[in-house]
Structure 1
Amino acid sequence: MKAIAEQIRLDMQRFSGAGRTWVGVLIFLSAPVIGILLNLVMALTGNDGDDARTALTGLVAGMGIGLIVGLVSGLFVDFSNAAIRLNGLLPITRDHQVFGRYAAVSLLVLVQSCGYAIFYFCVADSFLQGQDHWRATVLFALGLFMSESLLFAVAAPLFYWLEMAKAVIAFLALLGLVPITALVGSWLPFGWGAVWNSIMRFLTSDLWRPVLLGLAVILAADMVSIAISRKVYARKEI
């Protein structure tokens, strides 16, 4: 556990670029904090209509996705420098490096999701009239936590396996498959809308269902991703 904790500290420092763990945490909290400040400015200037708040929510969510992509690049860019890669091997093993890296990212994304929960609860007040604010806030934060966790679970094995430039291309190609698959699925003669609505009604009828399902999906994806990353990294030359 001590070695994994040390790897978490090293990865926090790599991401912050300033040699301070707390700087990385502040960077990841910057998106929801900026969103809260912008929402306050909008309210003071009277430009806080539903459309404006919806646009602000989309902007801040996009910033969060951008941060996870930047985090992946920041953590793995040093793999091109063998001397830097050695700084975590002794007394930290390769398995410690992998587990520590996944733990570091999970902690950062969890902290950011808590910030998003506060942001969404403040911003969504106008267009959640008559709805359960607590439920909507939890689902919004959970959705972002799932999205960013799954992005890293997909990206990490690629960056352990390929060179930086090739890994980025492969990662972007996989991301591009998502809208393409959705577009192709929309052309098929199937009532996707009715099925999706039925699934969402089932999941959101009780708050514990989407929370438990989301955490189970993240855990399963991380377990598979960690297993692949360990196997790939074990074969990588130093």
Structure 2
Amino acid sequence: MPDITAFTRLSGQKTHQKALIKPLLRMMISIMVILGLWQAIVVFFGMPSFILPAPIEVFERLLLRYDILLKHTLVTGQEIILGLFLGLFMGLFFALQMLLFKPIKQWLLPILIASQAIPVFALAPVLMLWLGYGIASKIVMAALIIFFPVTTCCYDGLRNTPSGYLDLAQTMGATKWQMLRHIQFPASLPTLASGIRVAVVIAPIGAVAGEWVGSSEGLGYLMLQANARMMIDEMFAALFILSMLSILLYFVVDKLLKKFIPWEV
């Protein structure tokens, strides 16, 4: 008789491979369409390279300066990832505080809203003054820019837990901590996942903005230096790498969220 378990496992592996190939294929097609339109604009309008370099020129610069670009990419990637972790921790912490302690919510929520009225870019010089020109100020910039969406998504998910679940747990004698751990937090994960996806996309903005204000390394710094020297192809190469880094980070986080939150719709 055929091995049903092995057949099921093989079918699952094929399905998983197809699920991975389709998004990658769509992304590659989208990139090719964008590059085609880019090349068409350069040719049709006769754009000089110091205004808009052709894709092939940017690709040549990527190959020529790959070591420098890789060095600065690692710096910016480190800032983004550490900023994500810090922003997620802060968002979860303050969301829990607002849920568990109602008086804190009344005071903290207006402060959170007011903080978004101040452009994060305006805080960059202050952070440079306080934290210096090293990596710390860029991490804080990335964390600040994702702090509000993560906090609001987590808080909305926690407080919108179905009341029937909470009533049943209360009837069975569950403590507040047990309800939070086993009911409210798992129920909030799909909403929190949406906030994390938004955070992954906008975190690079904070890191690069911090590098623009003051730094000695990173893709933002490299873009400024290339622009000042009229090396527009190198600036576009750094911008392309930053875009690819953001897309890669988004897909990795999306796959991890779907793996650890299988009940998410």
TM-score category, normalised to shorter length = 0.3 to 0.5
TM-score, normalised relative to structure 2 = 0.31
TM-score, structure 1 as length reference = 0.33
Bigger Rg, which one:
2
